[in-house]
Structure 1
Amino acid sequence: MIGNRESSGGAHFAFTDRWGGVSAAPYAMLNLGGAVGDDPAAVRTNRGLAAAALGLDPAAVRWMRQVHGRDVVVADGPPPDGEPPTADALVTARGGLPLAVLTADCTPLLLADPVAGVVAAAHAGRPGLLAGVVPATVEAMRALGADPARIVARTGPTVCARCYEVPAALRDEAERTVPGSGAVSADGTPAIDIPAGVRAQLAASGVRDIALSPVCTRESADHFSYRRDRTTGRQAGYVWLDPS
């Protein structure tokens, strides 16, 4: 259920896999995505199970309506209208408020400055990476008092460059926009390395403590992958601070 978990100075990072939930195929089992066609009751149960495994209140977790952009929303409690904000990154300085990001090949990015007490969760697919969601998230953290030199950055399972074949024009655009993100697939065709692009943008923003997940979602039977299965579920990354 929880594929990887780490803590640093009162900040906590966790990434789920696909096991331990109640969803039926093709969303089996721990689908946490509410907009992929799964039974809403199953998704609610799964979110409750994941939160319980992390010691979190499922009602407190802040989600996003992700659209592959660069908008960042500051979270300071429940959304005013009860609906998740349309954004691809959330940032908060509020202890005990968990932030979550959904993925099924895109790169889930979790960030924390434990000294300043600021955390963020970002969704970095190809469009969001090229639009600049990563530096926008770091800048939003800075506005809340974070220092990039103190930020701890962790990514979760994501499609690797070997498996992310794209047309040459898209690869070239990615390389022009985010140098280092252009790549070659396992078949020798043009590809994009999203994690490498995320790392390059973090480094350019002054972040030093960066660890990328070695897990490729398309290659891993333990994770959902849109490129592999098309109709499938979503795993999540969670980040939160100890209550102040």
Structure 2
Amino acid sequence: MRHRDRIEGDLVIEVAFTDVSLSLGDAADDDVRTGALRQVAEATGATPALMHQVHGAHVDLVDDRRTSGRVPADAMITAQAGVALLARAADCVPVLLADPATGWIAAVHSGRPGLAAGVVPAAVAALRAQGADPSVAWVGPHVCGSCYEVPADLQDEVAIVVPEARSTTSWGTPALDLGAGVRAQLDASGITDVRVVDACTREDPSWPSHRRDGAAATRFAGVIWSHP
């Protein structure tokens, strides 16, 4: 577990990011993924909760009726202590949210479609609907705007919704900066304490990258959990 951080309120809220050493992808062998989740549980002292990530904007509430299983969603929220929410990625942006005053937390998977669909604002709105006021966000490693080449029409499609995501590769072609888009959405949502892990998954081999490794890429995870 890398880039750990913690904040204290009614509950202690902790975050961390796994790396390429743990295989958390859907294509991983069941034994391999089970072993990786066991390591996450041991490192956090919490029960891991996974999403079946579908590049949308659905937000799943994890409460005492569901602390495991894989619901089709790209964001999860909970106020349950002892549950570790995981947002998995291999170039997409894992975003973690917290309200230190109430202990509500969220894990969000924001890829290109999720950015355009507004999954991060949807997660913020879902927390606020529960009476929480998320004030801290962590933006995990993701492919940078200089590496994420896309066709010009796809760039335009996303930039119409999130202009801050428009970018250019280091070799001069149209690109998207997913991280810049996410940070703009967080700012528009009123979250100013944004803590960014400054790493490009395509450039840094310690992180999984679909752009770099194709179908062989596994997944890492942003993890957030709380405890007394």
Matched, 1:238 2:228: no
For 1:110, the equivalent position in structure 2 comes to 96
How far residue 117 of structure 1 moved from its aligned partner, in angstroms, is 1.4
For 2:54, the equivalent position in structure 1 comes to 67
Cα distance in 2 between the residues matched to 1:66 and 1:17: 18
SS at match of 1:45: helix
5 Å matches for 1:94-105?
Answer: 94-105=80-91
Contact 1:100 1:121 in 2 (8 A): yes
| Aligned-CA RMSD value | 1.4
Cα distance in 1 between the residues matched to 2:81 and 2:52: 22
SS at match of 2:125: helix
Structure (1/2) with the larger strand percentage: 2
How far residue 78 of structure 1 moved from its aligned partner, in angstroms, is 5.6
- For structure 1, the 5+ residue unaligned runs are 20-29
For 2:191, the equivalent position in structure 1 comes to 207
Contact 1:152 1:210 in 2 (8 A): yes
- For structure 2, the 5+ residue unaligned runs are none
Cα distance in 2 between the residues matched to 1:78 and 1:16: 27
SS at match of 1:188: coil
Task: Choose the corresponding residue for 1:198, options 182, 190, 195.
Answer: 182
How far residue 96 of structure 1 moved from its aligned partner, in angstroms, is 1.8
For residues 30-76 of structure 1, give each alpha carbon's deviation from its aligned partner in whole angstroms, at most 9, with x where no partner exists: 1012x22x22111111211232123x24xx21110000000001100
For 1:23, the equivalent position in structure 2 comes to none
Instruction: Tell me the amino acid that sits aligned with residue 120 of structure 1.
Output: A
For 2:107, the equivalent position in structure 1 comes to 121
Cα distance in 2 between the residues matched to 1:78 and 1:89: 17
Q: Which runs of 4+ in 1 moved over 2 A?
A: 77-80
Matched, 1:159 2:146: no
Matched, 1:76 2:93: no
For 2:168, the equivalent position in structure 1 comes to 184
Aligned length: 224
Cα distance in 2 between the residues matched to 1:155 and 1:78: 29
For 1:26, the equivalent position in structure 2 comes to none
For 1:17, the equivalent position in structure 2 comes to 19
Q: TM-score, normalised by structure 2?
A: 0.94
For 1:32, the equivalent position in structure 2 comes to 24
Cα distance in 1 between the residues matched to 2:29 and 2:102: 39
Q: Which moved more, 1:124-133 or 1:90-99?
A: 90-99
